[in-house]
């Protein structure tokens, strides 16, 4: 069975460097991390879990609590977390809250009972509104969402910046009456709403937003209602998530409206369907796998060094301009 010394020799690094990578500690370059992980895979290395438990008095199980298992975003985040956990010889306990604070509290208590080594959480609004009411015996890292004053390690997208860039693109293409559909149950949706509001305020234009459940069905119904109730169509509609974007696209298709000739369409999440429809949909592509990987690396570092300073990794989305928002001039 391969040892950590074998991994170090295979990677051409010191045992200390390999240990830092496997412990998720900061101060390691991406090139070094890649060399170590390639050596781990080549040798089939697995840490001595029994010895680690004796040293730390912790289990080798991590908790991952997401807010909506139906959202493909969390599928990719979960994959990244599991990949890194597996490479470190750790297990992942997966739970889904459906944005329900009661379920969230239940699963957090369950993690306490299971004596997990640490938890990655996509928090509800209730959790973020009362952060000081929560105290856990394990390290906690937030993923996907947090507030500016949240005193917890976190890996997130810069939501306000991404939404601003998306709306500014539409403004540059000549669109002025822009309706924003957003999920009101999460901090993510509200932060993207703020970015939308900021971009329109800079342009001296009024905002027009609709809060809804972050589901495809809710978005489909909301878009249908808008089309029936408003005498004048908006020039563009924007979705704060991939599931909402799909509902809007289905409603526009069923109404016989073409994008962008009748109404432009844009949103978040580069899901496969957005690339294969005609025209393809303009989106903000999130570095989802990187967000998940960053979250678990933050957690492993916190487990190894509990007293280290709080860290927040904020990643930038990529604006992918496609046919659904082409020039209106």
Answer with the residue of higher pLDDT: 296 or 21: 296
Minimum mean pLDDT range among 70-79, 88-97, 141-150, 156-165: 141-150
Residues 70-96 have a mean pLDDT of 94
Q: Chain-wide mean pLDDT for the chain?
A: 90
Residues 282-308 have a mean pLDDT of 95
Residues 295-323 have a mean pLDDT of 95
Domains, the chain: 1-46 (1.10.260.40), 49-156+288-315 (3.40.50.2300), 159-286+319-325 (3.40.50.2300)
CA angle 240, 244, 245 (to 5 degrees): 85
The alpha carbon dihedral of 79, 84, 87, 92 has a sign of negative
Question: In the predicted model, is pLDDT for residue 57 greater than 50?
Answer: yes
SS3 state at 121? strand
Answer with the residue of higher pLDDT: 65 or 115: 65
- Exposure of 82 in the CB half-sphere (CA atoms within 13 A): 9
Question: In the predicted model, is pLDDT for residue 54 greater than 70?
Answer: no
Residues 174-187 have a mean pLDDT of 94
The pLDDT tens digits for 263-284 are: 999 999 999 999 999 999 999 9
- Across the beta sheet with 318-320, what order do the strands follow? 209-212, 178-183, 236-239, 264-268, 282-285, 318-320
Question: In the predicted model, is pLDDT for residue 304 greater than 70?
Answer: yes
pTM tops 0.85: no
217 vs 222: CA distance, rounded Å = 9
Residues 18-41 have a mean pLDDT of 79
What is the per-residue pLDDT for 4?
Answer: 82
What is the per-residue pLDDT for 107?
Answer: 95
CB neighbours of residue 279 within 10 Å: 16
- Residue 100 phi/psi, 5-degree rounding, is -100, 115
Question: In the predicted model, is pLDDT for residue 150 greater than 90?
Answer: no
Minimum mean pLDDT range among 22-26, 141-145, 249-253, 289-293: 22-26
The highest-confidence range among 4-13, 56-65, 131-140, by mean pLDDT, is 4-13
Question: In the predicted model, is pLDDT for residue 53 greater than 60?
Answer: no
């Amino acid at each position: 069975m391969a040892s950590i010394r074998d991994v170090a020799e295979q990677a051409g690094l010191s045992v200390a460097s390999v240990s830092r990578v496997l412990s998720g500690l900061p101060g390691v370059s991406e090139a070094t991390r890649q060399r170590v992980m390639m050596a781990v895979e080549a040798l089939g290395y697995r840490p001595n879990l029994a010895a680690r438990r004796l040293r730390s008095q912790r289990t080798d199980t991590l908790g991952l609590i997401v807010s909506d298992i139906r959202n493909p975003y969390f599928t990719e985040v979960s994959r990244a977390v599991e990949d890194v956990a597996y490479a470190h010889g750790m297990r992942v306990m997966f739970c889904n809250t459906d944005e329900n604070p009661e379920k969230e509290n239940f699963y957090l208590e369950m993690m306490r009972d299971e004596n997990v080594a640490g938890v990655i959480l996509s928090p509800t609004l209730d959790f973020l509104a009362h952060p000081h009411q929560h105290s856990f015996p394990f390290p906690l890292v937030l993923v996907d969402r947090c507030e500016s004053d949240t005193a917890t390690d976190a890996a997130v997208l810069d939501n306000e910046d991404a939404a601003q860039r998306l709306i500014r693109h539409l403004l540059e293409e000549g669109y002025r009456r822009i309706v924003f559909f957003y999920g009101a149950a999460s901090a993510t949706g509200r932060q993207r709403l703020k970015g939308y509001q900021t971009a329109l305020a800079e342009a001296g234009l009024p905002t027009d937003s609709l809060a809804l459940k972050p589901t495809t069905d809710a978005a489909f119904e909301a878009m249908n209602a808008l089309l029936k109730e408003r005498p004048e169509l908006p020039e563009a509609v924007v979705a704060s998530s991939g599931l909402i974007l799909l509902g809007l696209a289905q409603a526009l298709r069923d109404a016989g409206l073409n994008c962008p000739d009748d109404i432009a369409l844009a949103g978040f999440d580069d899901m496969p369907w957005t690339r294969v429809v005609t025209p393809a949909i303009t989106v903000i592509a999130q570095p989802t796998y990187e967000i998940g990987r960053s979250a678990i690396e933050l957690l492993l570092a916190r487990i190894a060094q509990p007293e280290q300073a709080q860290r927040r990794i904020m990643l930038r989305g990529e604006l992918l301009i496609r046919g659904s928002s082409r020039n209106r001039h």
